[in-house]
Every structure is written in C-alpha cells, then in structure tokens.
Structure 1
Amino acid sequence: MLLTPDDLHACEVELAKRSLADFARMAWHVLEPATALKWGWALDAICEHLEAVSYGQSRRLLMNVPPGSMKSLLTGVIWPAWEWGPRDRAELRFLGTAHKQDLAVRDNLKCRRLIQSDWYQKRWPVNLTSDQNAKTKFENDRTGFREAMAFESMTGSRGDNVILDDPHSVDDANSVAKLLSGVTTFREALPSRVNNDRSAIVCVMQRLNEADVSAVAIELGYDHLCIPMRYEPGRSKWAFGSGDPRTVEGELMFPERFPEAQVTELENTMGSYAVAGQLQQRPAPRGGGIIKTAWFRYYRDLPALEWRQIHADTAQKTGEENDYSVFQCWGRSITGQAVLIDQIRGKWEAPELLTQARSFWLKHKAITGAPLRAMKIEDKVSGTGLIQTLRREGVAVVPVQRAKDKVSRAYDAAAFIESGNVLLPEWSDWLDGFISEASTFPSGAHDDQLDPLFDAVHDVQFGPVTQTRPVAAIPRTVTAFNRR
C-alpha cells in the first residue's frame, strides 16, 4: 500500500513529536539550506538531555561540548521551536542569554525564522503576535515568547526555560575580574529569572577555566553532559541516555564533522591549554596548576654534573586507558639543580618493559663523566618483577616505596621547581608532552611522567651526594627564560 502525501505528512509530524533529534534533521534545510547536514551520536546525546528537561526529568542541566558541535543551534534555536510546535507547548516562555547580546539575538532570529517558515507553519501553525515580534523578543498568541538578552544584564523577564549559552568569552576567562563577574551573575541573578520551581536552567558551554560557570554548576549538582573531543576514560559524563559509546583512548567525538586531520590541526594551533579546556573539557590553570610551566628552566648544553640517576614509573596495565611506563635519567648539577637528561615512555608488556629498562640503563652506563648511581623503581606491581630481574643481571636497582599520594608529593616538589632549580633539555621531542602533563596535573589524562620528576627532585635536595654545595645561580649554559 502506497502512502499518500497526507499520510507522509502525518508520519513526519508524529515522528517530530516523538524525537527532538528527528525534528532537528527535518528542520535543518530551513536553517542551513546550502549546507549538508552531518549528524553524529554526540548530537543525539545533546537532544536526549534537552528532552529530559522537556519531560521534567531535569530542572538544571549543564552541557560541556567542544565548539562547532551544534550546541547553540540545537539548544537555542531548534529546541524552543520543537516545544512550541511538535510538542504543542506554545505557552512556554524561553529566555536566551550569552556573554554577548549579539550572540543571544542571533539565535533568537534563527528561531523566529524557523517558526515563521512555510515548512514549519504547514505542520505546526504557531501564530506570532504583531505587537511583539522584534529581533530581541517575539511572542505567540498563547503568551509564549522567546527573548534574548546579554548574560550580565539580565533584567525584567522570567522564563519557563532559561538558556545560558557560553557565559564567558575566551578573553573573559583569562581575566579574574570578568570571570568572577560571570560567576556572580550565574549564582545570584540567573536563578531569579525562572518563573517557578518547575522552570529549568540549561547551561551549554565549552570549558575555559577551572573556576568558570561550569565549575559552579557542577558544585551545585546540575545534571551533567560532558563530551570531550577525544575520548579519555573517566572524562565523559552522561546524566541521561546510554553514555559515551567510545572505548578507545583518543577516539574522536564527531569524525563526520571533525575528522582526524582537522582535529590535529586545531590541537597544533590552539596549544595545550586551550585544547585541554575547549576541546577536552578539563581546564587547567593557564601556565599550570600546582606546577607552573614558567617555573621550569631549559638548557642547550648539559651542565656539569655531580651524579646521575635513573627514575622509573611502571604502569600496572598496558590498556589504552592506562598510564604509560616511563624511564627518566636525571642528574644533580654542581650548583644543585635537578637536570633531566633523557626520557623514554611507552606502553610495554612485561618482556618489552624489561628490554626497555635494560637498554636505557646500558645506554647511560656507557656515558662517561658523572657517575650513574642507580635505577630507582617503585616496588609495586610490574615494578617488583622488574627490580628482581634487573638485580640478577647486576643492575644497581633501588626499590622505592612512595609513602605519600601524588598531589602531596607535587606540593613537596613545587617550591624547588618554582625556584628555577629544575632544568629541561629544550631540544627534546618529548618536552611538550612533559610540560603539558605537568601543567594539567592533577586534572590531566595522564601523570606518569611526574612520579619520576618528584622522586628526582626529592633526591637532588635530600639524597646522599658526594659533596655538599649550596644551590647557586643558574649557570651560563642554562637558558633562563620562560619557554612558554
């Protein structure tokens, strides 16, 4: 039996009523007639969470997604039109706000254009009133309206659904005063813009600072959707729906829209701090958290050393979600600095781990000059077997028992690093990764390079040395400047 045009029309209307995602696909041609729609599971997740608000399952929702993910279009344009038309809730009142009035007005105009389109009106004839049909506010004949305003000047109207889209600009997030102003508005002014206890606040944004509006929303217990651009185990958050479908670390969120080459270009262009916040949704303090990037010093020529020592951190497992194993060769300079000489890092099973450890030891044992004292390995899990085998081979291995947690050890090392007493080789190809990991600690995806750092700093300060020397000024061979 062939369906008539009326049958197809009825099916489309019913499908749109049941699914915000399906309505979004249908409405795309009205909003972006010259651009082909690229859809992915991340957009389904955003729609599922907005539907939870529509059905009363959520009254406070935070969605952290990377830029370019259709978050504004879905939340500020398509969702209100879906409520008024397919859901037959034209009495609902929407307030849309953003850090700039222009952005809020942009989405207001797009929503009005969608609702006034022939396609929409033929299926859901929502009548807009002539006396209130402006770019900042339009109203329908059932007293529902959608109004746009700047975030930090929210006055007057109240809404059933208040949409906060990017409360901070990138520049604002780097200003303490502007950041605090936005947080204050979120805490004190925004809650007063809702109609009643059934009203909802939906905040959709990328992370820009560890103390941004998102941090406050999380503290206040908002339902949370968080989708990093690249998959990181434990980073994704789902309040509704089936959760992140990815299982492989580094897997992309939206390859249909952001393929590997484009994401790599973004990462290279934006830098590690912006990537951590805007793409991965795990902001770290600019310049570092406990450990600031500006504290490190760099050398071109290896300073004169008193002794050298290898520090190791071995991973428990080698899965994609686990940390790496790391071997670092450190030295104590004759003026008392901790000097990182060399590093290898990888995910190795036990036989390969032994091979890498042995080779790294022999490589540095063969280098003349300051004596190589020992290889220090944490006596735990994979490290225990490695210690036993290397000892049988005659390697000077020292088991390490770490009595403190990593954060405490970071604070212990911080003052020494801040004093400019940790020197890094500016020419190493692994240096950017080391700096990124140090600056994002303790919120970064990995921290395996930091245990050897903390061990080395401790031993340079307090370990046995052949002679006692005061910590002096940085030698001329060291580049005493902020690399970042």
Structure 2
Amino acid sequence: IVQSDEYRALWPLEIADDAKSKKRWNVVVDGKKAGGVYAVSLGGQVTGFRAGHMAPGWQGAIIIDDPLKVEDAYSKTGRSKANRKLVSTVKSRKASPDTPIIVIMQRLAQDDPTGLIQSGGFPGAWECIEIPALIDDAYVSGLPEQVQGQVVRDVQDQDGRYSYWPYKEPLAELLALEATDRYVFSGQYQQRPSPLGGGIIKGDQFGRYTVLPRILSRNVYGDTAQKTAERNDYSVFQLWGLGEDKRIYLLDMIRGKWEAPELKRRAIDFWNAHRAYDHKVSAPIRQMKIEDKSSGTGLIQDIARGGAGQGRIPVTGIARVTDKLTRVMDVVSYIDAGWVVIPEQAGWVKDFVAECEAFSADGTHAHDDQIDPMVDAINDLLAHPASDWSRWV
C-alpha cells in the first residue's frame, strides 16, 4: 500500500531497499534512514526495538490493534496474559517518555486491556475515545462541534437511539443483534461490556413446547461425573431432536449419581426407552454422544463392545477443547434467539432451568452437569450441523 501511486500522491515516501517486508521497513529522507515500521503480534518478539527517538517533536508511536482475541475474552488467564504484555513489555519499548501509545480494540470484557487502562492499571495520561454502534443525542452533544453537524440522525428506536453509521449498520440490524446476544452487543458494539456473573443463560429465553413439530433427527448426549460424592456433579443423559422448523427440542432427560455398571445400564435403558419411532412424526435415534474423558471414556468403550440384550448403539466421543464458559458463551445466542426449546411441563424442567440460570462466569454455581450436554447438542445440531436430515426422513 505505502508503495502504491495513490499513497505516494498523498504521502511521498521513499522506502529503503534493505528491508521491504510487511513486518519491517524503513523510510529514507535525503539518503538516510529516518524511521521505520516494525509489526509483530502481541505475543511476538519486541525486545531490542524501541518506538520513537530521544529528540523533541514527533518521533513515532506504539500502535496496538486488538490486543485480546475474542476466544481469549472469556478466559481469565487469557485476559491476564494480554494485560501483562501491555504493562511489562509494551511500555518498556518507548524510547522517550513522550512516545504515545495508541490502543485500538473492541471491548470484550470489563477487565480487558482497555478496562485495565481505564482503571489505572496501566499508568499514563490516557484519552479514551468510545464509538458505540447505537448513539443518542446525549452522545452527539459530547462530540466536537465540527463533528456534530456530520452525524446522520437516522430513524430512532423507542429509546431515541440511532445507528452511528446507518449506511453500513442499519438500525434494524443493530437492534436484532442486540436482542440476539445482549452481552456480546454491549461489549463489542456499544463498548460497554457487562459483568459476567449469573444470568448468562436466561431461562425465559428458552422456547417452550406442548406439541412437537416433526422431528428430523434425534441424538442422545451424555455427560458423566468423575465421582459420585455429594458435592460432585451428576451424570446426565439428554435426548435432543432437530425439528423441521430448524429449532432443537429437549425431548427427555435423566440425571443421577451412578457408578459402573449402573451407569452403563442407565445409558442403555434411556436409549432403549426412546428407540421406537413413527417416521411420520419423528426419526430414529442416530447416535449416543458422550464426553470422551474420565468415566465417559470407559462408558464409550463399554457400550461400543456391546453385550447381551444391549442391541446396537452407535456411540461416539465428544472432545471439548475449550473451557466451559467459552463453550457456553459461544452458543448462548442460539438460546437468546429462541432456537432452543424445552417442554412446558416435565418433572425435570424446573431444575434444568434453575441450573442454567445459576451458571456463572466465576464458577460459584453449585452444578452445571445439565448444561454440558445441552451445549453439545446446540453445537452438533445448530452451530455445526453435519447433514440435512430432511433427506433421510
């Protein structure tokens, strides 16, 4: 870009011949190097290179773009790592106390790098510029006068909010995004992240059914406890179906503290209880999917080996590669959008909803065993569907 005719027409620069890579290049003035650019990831090597010079006037800057990845935002370890990099490494790369640091990022959590700066954890004379997706007259009145007149006041919602850039982000689309996932929207779009506590999963966002649509596919999802002590989680098996309306339905569930061989018997009995089907209204159970870890690994192997009176049960393991909070945050938008439906009446549904509503970011909730297989079902049937099951029923 910097060597294009268009760029040089605005900023005539001469690039040194000794280094022209995207990550490292220098500018030449009067035959001498007069500065340059060094680009590296936040976790890359920055020692040995300083921004700016020990001289008066403008001498360069440190520009940091998106120092925290979205996938690390729900991990306290990931957030802490990004914050440590800012404080321990980036700050020391200033050649002069006057060398500015510019951080450009979307807000992802209250204690993300911007939150660290705003709370005083990264000392300095910082100026914060927030550009939310939905703005109102109060926000516009705080802008410089020469900017206020350029704001396009498009259609407003009932709270008097309008899009900051209606040509690119129409109000209707922004409101739909906000309704789908308020936590993500408040951070990434409004730059005001909400605290992650309880209330991540809202019980009133589940759809409710009394009559089922035609079910195109059914699977059993299982989560087994490591131990059966009083304080440990339960083992859970859930039957989920994909409806012809493209929503998923929790059809049945069992939950208890079982050790082998009772754990295997419970899993097989649950499968057999739902084996029968009428192809006019439902589909056969296609698989039993269990977390491939701890007691789940042994259960997968036991069921795969079969046994007297068991019949054939296609069983497969599920590898969960991210932490529980990240997995929940990745799928909660499907719940908020009404794509996940539970019974209006069932003996277990009240406890299921209570556990979902109690789920917290800091792990202070008592149990979350019913949440894991639900997340697996959402991932399997909604987020990453393997097939168009309507061809098979």
Instruction: State the TM-score bracket (shorter-chain normalisation).
Output: 0.3 to 0.5
Structure 1 length as normaliser, TM-score?
0.37
Query: Which protein is richer in helix relative to its size?
Result: 1
